[in-house]
Amino acid sequence: MSITLLAIESSCDDTSAAVMRDGILLSNVTASQAVHEMYGGVVPELASRAHQQNIVPVVDAALKQANIEKSELSAIAVTLGPGLMGSLLVGVSFAKGLAASLGIPLIDVNHLHGHILAHFIQTPDDKKEVPPYPFLCLLVSGGNSQIVKVNSHNNFEVLGQTIDDAAGEAIDKCSKVMGLGYPGGPIIDRMARQGNPRAFSFAKPNLPGYDYSFSGLKTSFLYFLRDKVAENPNFIENNKNDLAASLEATIIEILMKKLKKAAQDIGIKHVALAGGVSANSALRKAFQDMEDKGVWKIYIPKFSYTTDNAAMIAMSGHYRYLDGEFCSLDKPAFSRTVF
Ligand code: KG4
Cα(63)–Cα(50) distance, rounded to whole angstroms?
20
Nearest protein Cα to ligand 1, atom 8? 276
Task: Identify the DSSP state of 332.
Answer: P
Nearest protein Cα to ligand 1, atom 2? 276
pLDDT in tens, 65-96: 999 999 999 999 999 999 999 999 999 999 99
AA identity, residue 101 = S
Residue 290, pLDDT > 80, answer yes
State the distance from the centre of ligand 1 to the C-alpha of 317, rounded, in angstroms.
23
State the distance from the centre of ligand 1 to the C-alpha of 67, rounded, in angstroms.
31
Residue 40, pLDDT > 80, answer no
Per-residue b or e along 146-181, where b marks 16 or more CB atoms closer than 10 Å to that residue's CB? bbbbbeebeebebbbbbeebbbbbbbbbbbebbebe
Burial of 332 (0-12, 13-18, 19+ CB in 10 A): exposed
pLDDT in tens, 147-174: 999 999 999 999 999 999 999 999 999 9
AA identity, residue 64 = K
Are the CB atoms for 190 and 180 separated by under 8 Å?
no
Tell me the mean pLDDT in the region 92-107.
98
Whether this prediction's pTM lies above 0.85 is answered by: yes
Residue 206, pLDDT > 90, answer no
State the distance from the centre of ligand 1 to the C-alpha of 184, rounded, in angstroms.
8
Q: What is the pLDDT of residue 17?
A: 98
Q: How confident is the model at residue 325 (pLDDT cuts 50, 70, 90)?
A: very high
The percentage of the chain sitting over the pLDDT mark of 90, rounded to a whole number, equals: 89
Atom of ligand 1 nearest to the CA of 168: 12
Atom of ligand 1 nearest to the CA of 182: 14
Average pLDDT, rounded, for the chain:
95
Q: Specify which residues 162 forms β-bridges with.
A: 212
Cα(15)–Cα(48) distance, rounded to whole angstroms?
10
Ligand 1 shell residues, CB under 6 Å: 12, 141-143, 168, 171-172, 183-186, 189, 275-277, 279-280, 307-308
Cα(88)–Cα(90) distance, rounded to whole angstroms?
5
The per-residue DSSP string of 140-185 comes to ESSS-EEEEEEEETTEEEEEEEBSS--HHHHHHHHHHHTT--SSHH
- Best mutation site among 141, 255, 335 for ligand 1 pocket (most ligand atoms within 8 Å of CB): 141
Q: What is the pLDDT of residue 182?
A: 83
Q: What is the pLDDT of residue 104?
A: 98
State the distance from the centre of ligand 1 to the C-alpha of 316, rounded, in angstroms.
21
Tell me the mean pLDDT in the region 261-269.
98
Q: Which domains does the chain have, with CATH numbers?
A: 4-127+305-322 (3.30.420.40), 135-301 (3.30.420.40)
AA identity, residue 152 = S
Nearest protein Cα to ligand 1, atom 22? 185
